[in-house]
Structure 1
Amino acid sequence: MKKYLVCSLLMIFNICFGAIASAQSIDEQLLNKKQQSIIMISAFTAQGDLENLKVALNKGLDSGLTINQIKEVLVQMYAYAGFPRSLNGLNTFMEVLQERKEQGIKDVEGAQASPVNPDRDRLAIGTSNQTQLVGSKVTGKVYEFAPIIDTFLKEHLFGDIFERDILTYQERELATVAALAGIGNVNNQLKSHMKVSMNNEVTAKQLQALVDILHDNVGTKIGENAQMVLNQVLAK
């Protein structure tokens, strides 16, 4: 009887362990460790959760993200979460790098962004980048109401920032979706960027994996809201 119970327990353990390993394998196929780290770093930076951000930054470096790639994610966050959250994120990253250096860890600096012509037409470049990302020309009453915000979006966000080649469009959109989900109360923008993500080779399954990461690691309410928005996007 005892032998039977032991065998049964071992079988259950192996089945459960196998299921967990399989799920982890599937998650890594959907979003690699670098992408998962970008999501976590972005969400915690947007929330101002510096304690969890510190953990995410360490994991990001351990996953193979370079120092400059993480800097780029943190800099991009100011466009969505504001300068204070972005600067706090960068300060936290400086602390992490110093602690790792003292531990004898040598992190990879990585490539710098390619230089650009300061006399370039930033508005034209930004308009082109935005159109490519969205899949069509962007218009709206809010841009007619306050035309300067349209100029700022095109020249700076989609020009200056998205022109930088340290991160891919796919990586930038994963960061943006995670940040918007983390901020909360910006569902229209979250929905828009989920659509933009899918227009830039982020699959529905990858977005679902992103939502699952947020739910399990950032907060249940954050994950539930992101799931609701994703369901609306996929329904259309």
Structure 2
Amino acid sequence: MVEGRSEKAFARWLAERPQSFRERVKAVAMDAFAGYKKAAARQVPHAVEILDPFHIVKLAGDKVTAVRCRLQREATGRRGTRTDPLYRGRRILLKTASLRTDRQKKRADELLGDPANKPLALAHGAYQKIIACYAQEDRRKGRGMMAELIESLAVRGSAPGCPELVTLGRTLKRRMADILAFFDHPNGANGPTEAINGRLETLRGIALGFRNLDNYITRSLLHTGGFRQAVQNHL
């Protein structure tokens, strides 16, 4: 756990590691933040830069949510409430299509089949295709599917009425090499790290934040039982 989320913080942490450590780094899995990419390129230029699948899926899911919220405001002039179909389907839309129940499939089809929700159907389709690419057991096939999807989203006019999807397409195209690198490196995902980070973020929320990094680290260890053995020995 390192204080700061910036190019400088990451570059400094890498620079503080022994040269032997940096030489052994073969790949760096990261989110789409450009600062991490710059720091990695400067400190471990020989390492392969990989955009982690978790962040790509989340990025696409955020676009689905953005489109849904925009359509809700355009249709009603307000945010969604529990009686609004778009709001009620917010979680279903982000669920992997193959994992939906029959009732959820019906509700999703009703929402996406509405002509007024065509932009949402486009964003949702891209989101589900991205999930399908990563779900492919054959990495070569998954790589080809992802490359084809990115190229299609980069084509002008491919997402009429959906500027959110256009923005996503530009981002994916710009980082295409880093996205496709995942399929060439079996260990190029930081899923376990993200799972741990999720627990830490929950802890920080419960504590309403930590002003002191040492206190944050100590509380995290206590929360996960990191001091359990030492405490038992003391008793």
TM range (shorter): under 0.3
Of structures 1 and 2, the one with the larger relative CO (CA 8 A, separation 6+) is 1
Q: What's the TM-score once normalised by structure 1's chain length?
A: 0.26
Q: Which has the higher helix share?
A: 1
Q: What's the TM-score once normalised by structure 2's chain length?
A: 0.26
